[in-house]
Amino acid sequence: MEQVSVVGLDLAKSVFQVHGVNAQGEAVLRRKLTRGQLVKLFEKLPPCLVGMEACASAHHWARELISLGHEVKLMPPQYVKPYVKRGKNDAADAEAICEAVTRPTMRFVGAKSPDQQATMMLHRVRKILTRQRTQISNALRAHMAEFGITAAIGRGGLDRLIAVIADQEDARLPDEARACLGVLSAQLEMVKEQILDNDRRILADARRTEAGRRLMKIPGIGPLLASAIVACVPDPSTFDGGRSLSAWIGLTPRQNSSGGKERLGSITKAGNTYLRELLVVGAMAVVRRAKQGSTKRPWVTQLLARKKPKVAAVALANKNARIIWAMMTTGEPYREAELAAA
């Protein structure tokens, strides 16, 4: 086999497509492999650059190939798509990946460690459990409304409905309906306990890392966001600056500029949706405190005098993303603006 210098690897569950080129860019390797054959092939290859899309199982395979001495780079799938020259198939995708990984302006994704992936699993499971809690709560309300039993919005109202289910003397519910609602009530309590246990694990994870403890000092950033940031951003140096991290999260303004005229719109909402959601929710908490006059950040108060609360929250989320990058890059603790000026 002729010397291979760059490999494009298209990942799948059981069948993988490999496209390799030599130093002159000539295709010298085109193969479709099973999981067992994939590792054996890369064991035989000399150390080379391997490109993959950052998709399911990509971080696992990145760690496997790095352990074999190869240089592995992960890329967002949307950045690889423009390099596909013909119809959609595995061979064309592998060739596009092979070409995209050599582009000097390509943006790459850092490979996550098993611990970082485990942390993100905590967050994903939490989202699933939260959705289940909402679904069960809505089902309880809807079913009981069929019997004319309603309650106010909120946890207090739901607790009153659960008390009606538990009250065997309440004749408004038939026995069969009470049995079904009892199943939902028990499931709801179980899901609530699972969410609490999950939150305790996330809090412990945020406190476990030095970066997580420092990030929690920033107003608007709690254990949930600190834990997610440390897991999602394994290497902050992959970003050119705070603005690049903010753009990756989707908090920078959308541009539609031409002819020397700069036109900025709403935020792009591109990139990591989960981090953006947490940053905006945390920023809204700071904005609410600022409206009550209890914040230590005069910048937020001044912004609220000109902008609506939601706009101010997004601007603060953008600012916090840049602060996060600076703190993770330099290792410095958080300092309030007025203290730094003093």
- Residues 187-236: pLDDT tens digits? 999 999 999 999 999 999 999 999 999 999 999 999 999 999 999 987 88
Q: Which residues, other chains included, contact 255 with Cβ-Cβ below 8 Å and sequence gap of 6+?
A: 262, 263, 264, 265
Predicted confidence at residue 289, as pLDDT, reads 87
257: pLDDT strictly greater than 80 = no
Q: How confident is the model at residue 295 (pLDDT cuts 50, 70, 90)?
A: low
Q: What is the mean pLDDT of the chain?
A: 91
Query: In whole angstroms, how far apart are CA 272 and each of 225, 246, 276, 333?
Result: 13, 10, 6, 25
User: Which residues are paired to 20 by β-bridges?
Assistant: 7, 29
Predicted confidence at residue 2, as pLDDT, reads 67
Q: How confident is the model at residue 341 (pLDDT cuts 50, 70, 90)?
A: very low
Cβ distance 64 to 56 under 8 Å? Answer: no
- Residues 148-194: pLDDT tens digits? 999 999 999 999 999 999 999 999 999 999 999 999 999 999 999 99
Q: How confident is the model at residue 296 (pLDDT cuts 50, 70, 90)?
A: low
What is the share, in percent, of the chain residues with pLDDT greater than 70? 94
pTM given for the model: 0.85
Question: Using only C-alpha atoms, what is the Rg of the chain?
Answer: 26
- Residues 2-56: pLDDT tens digits? 689 999 999 999 999 999 999 999 999 999 999 999 999 999 999 999 999 999 9
308: pLDDT strictly greater than 80 = yes
